Structure 1
Amino acid sequence: MNTVWHVCSLVVRAHTERLAEVSATLSSLPGCDVAVSDIASGKLAVVLESDSEESLLKQMASVRDLAGVLAVSLVYHQFDEQIQGEETP
């Protein structure tokens, strides 16, 4: 059995007056963490985790579709696959 883990980071640009609302909504989503926010620029650094690429893409679409979000930029994506019985160094 294989275990796959995906992680990506996003820069989310939101209306400054809705930044707190967007941040709170993102923080409530499973596998989503708001690492940093900048009120002056309306930007959030967001980390998403998932067990599949399809699920990760759906999460990204959910972020993009939130009220108050202007843009979502993918900054980094990594996946790791561990085969049962194989140890991580």
Structure 2
Amino acid sequence: MSLNEVHISSLVVHCTPHHLDEVKTQIEQFDNAEIYGESPEGKIVVVLETENQGFITDTIETINNLPNVLSTALVYHQIETGLDENDSKNNNTGTQYSQTEGEV
């Protein structure tokens, strides 16, 4: 069951503005971590995609303990299971019928 599970999380990391580039470089070294945005005030949006929740909590703690990081906050966490089955069933029926009904 856990092999078919994907955890998607987003974090906001707040660091000292002067060290923004340095902290971004350190975050980019983490497996499964991507930076999706930043602000000149030292805020960084990070997205994690993992197979288990333990990696998320460990990564948050590690990022929070980096030099010049002021805080790290989990903003979003979603668990996807059985992506192949549910995705194909949901997308193939509803969209096609809605378009046909709208055109008639």
What TM-score does the superposition give when structure 1 sets the normalisation length? 0.87
Larger Cα Rg: Structure 1 or Structure 2?
A: 2
How far apart are the structure 1 equivalents of 2:35 and 2:15? 13
More strand by share: 1
Corresponding residue for residue 35 of structure 1:
36
Q: How does 1:1-89 map to 2 (within 5 A)?
A: 1=1, 2-39=3-40, 41-82=41-82, 87-89=85-87
More helix by share: 2
Shift of 1:25: 0.9
- Please identify runs of 4+ aligned residues in structure 1 that moved more than 6 A: none
* Secondary structure class of the residue paired with 1:54: helix
Give me the identity figure in percent.
28
**RMSD of aligned C-alpha atoms?**
1.6
How far apart are the structure 2 equivalents of 1:21 and 1:31? 19
Structure 1 segments unaligned to the other structure (5+ residues): none
Shift of 1:79: 0.7
Aligned residues: 86
Shift of 1:27: 1.1
* Secondary structure class of the residue paired with 2:12: strand
